[in-house]
């Protein structure tokens, strides 16, 4: 059974710092891995999607990497800003289970001005 874990559960950093959020999964037979942002009381906003054949994806100040052999993905945020404060969720797509996503519990990020 696929399990997805995110560490740390919460993170507080001063503005301007570069930071890394970690995501690990137990079954390497994933099709892709998706990173989401969730603001309080809101739905999920897709940030980056990495196909299993890819090793990383970049969008602006965000960079996500995927290492299937070690069961890990990281989300790197450069030059953090207070507006980056939110909960970040990673999710693995299990292809042979109808494309459903298995989510981690999230990392709650707070960027202090």
Partner 1 sequence: GAGVSQSPRYKVAKRGQDVALRCDPISGHVSLFWYQQALGQGPEFLTYFQNEAQLDKSGLPSDRFFAERPEGSVSTLKIQRTQQEDSAVYLCASSSFPGAPYEQYFGPGTRLTVT
In the list 14, 40, 98, 113, the residue contacting partner 1 (rule: CB under 8 A) is 98
| Binding-site size, partner 1 (CB under 8 A) | 28
In the complex, the smallest distance separating the C-beta of residue 77 from partner 1, rounded to whole angstroms, is 19
Residue 75 burial by Cβ neighbours in a 10 Å radius (0-12, 13-18, 19+): buried
Longest pairwise C-alpha distance within the chain: 44
Element (H, E) at 108: strand 107-112
- Contact, 107 vs 4, CB < 8 A? no
Cα distances from 24 to residues 2, 3, 14, 91, 112, in angstroms, run 10, 8, 25, 10, 27
- Contact, 9 vs 105, CB < 8 A? yes
State which of positions 7-46 bind partner 1 (CB under 8 A): 31-32, 34, 36, 41-46
In the complex, the smallest distance separating the C-beta of residue 41 from partner 1, rounded to whole angstroms, is 8
User: CB under 8 A: which stretch of 13-21, 58-66, 77-85, 97-105 binds partner 1?
Assistant: 97-105
State which of positions 44-83 bind partner 1 (CB under 8 A): 44-46, 49, 51
Residues that bind partner 1 (CB under 8 A): 4, 6, 31-32, 34, 36, 41-46, 49, 51, 89, 91, 93, 95, 97-106
């Amino acid at each position: 059974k696929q399990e997805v874990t995110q560490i740390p559960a919460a993170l507080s950093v001063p503005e301007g710092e570069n930071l890394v959020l970690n995501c690990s999964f137990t079954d390497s037979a994933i099709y892709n891995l998706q990173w989401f942002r969730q603001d309080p009381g809101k739905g999920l906003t897709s940030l980056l999607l990495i196909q299993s054949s890819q090793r990383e994806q970049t969008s602006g100040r965000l960079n996500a990497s995927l290492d299937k052999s070690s069961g890990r993905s990281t989300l790197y945020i450069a030059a953090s800003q207070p507006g980056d404060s939110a909960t970040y969720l990673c999710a693995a797509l299990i292809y042979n289970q109808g494309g459903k996503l298995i989510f981690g519990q999230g990392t709650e990020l707070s960027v202090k001005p």
